[in-house]
Amino acid sequence: MRGNPGYPKISIFKPMKKYFLPIAVLTALNACSQATQKMDFESYNPPSTLVVPGNVITRAKFPFIDVHNHQFQMATMDLATLIKDMDAMNMNVMVNLSGQSGDVLKKAADNVKANYPNRFIVFANVDFKKVGESGWSEKAAAQLETDVKNGANGLKIYKSLGFSVTDINGKRVTVDDPRLDAIWKKAGDLKIPVLIHTADPKPFWQPMDSTNERWLELATHPQRKRSDTDPAPFDTLIAEQHRLFKKHPGTTFIAAHFGWYPNDLGKLGQLLDAMPNVVVEFGAIIAELGRQPRAANQFFNTYQDRILFGKDSWVPSEYKTYFRVLESTDEYFPYHKKYHAFWALYGMGLSDEVLKKIYYKNALRIIPNIDRTLFPE
pLDDT digits (tens, 9 = 90+) for 306-331: 999 999 999 999 999 999 999 999 99
Cβ atoms 158, 134 nearer than 8 A: no
H-state helical runs in 90-159: 102-115, 136-149
Residue 53: pLDDT above 60? yes
From residue 237, alpha-carbon distances to 66, 143, 181, 205, 254 in Å are 26, 26, 17, 12, 16
How confident is the model over 84-111, as pLDDT tens digits? 999 999 999 999 999 999 999 999 999 9
Closest CA to 157 of 231, 261, 223, 244: 244
Cβ atoms 200, 260 nearer than 8 A: yes
Residue 310 pLDDT: 98
Residue 25 pLDDT: 57
Residue 2: pLDDT above 80? no
Question: Span 175-189, mean pLDDT?
Answer: 98
Residue 279: pLDDT above 60? yes
**Cα dihedral 326, 328, 334, 336 in deg (nearest 10):** -40
Residue 43 pLDDT: 82
Residue 19 pLDDT: 47
Residue 16: pLDDT above 50? no
Compute the distance between CA of residue 248 and CA of residue 250 in angstroms, rounded to an integer. 5
Question: Span 47-54, mean pLDDT?
Answer: 91
Q: Cβ neighbours of residue 114 under 8 Å, at least 6 residues apart?
A: none
pTM score: 0.90
From residue 259, alpha-carbon distances to 5, 80, 200, 283 in Å are 67, 33, 9, 10
Structural domains in the chain, CATH included, are: 67-374 (3.20.20.140)
Cβ atoms 59, 89 nearer than 8 A: yes
Compute the distance between CA of residue 152 and CA of residue 328 in angstroms, rounded to an integer. 35
Residue 33 pLDDT: 59
Compute the distance between CA of residue 55 and CA of residue 260 in angstroms, rounded to an integer. 29
Return contacts of 39-43, CB within 8 angstroms, 24+ apart: 41/216, 41/342, 42/216, 42/220, 42/338, 42/339
Query: Euclidean distance between the first and final Cα of the chain, in Å?
Result: 97
How confident is the model over 118-162, as pLDDT tens digits? 999 999 999 999 999 999 999 999 999 999 999 999 999 999 999
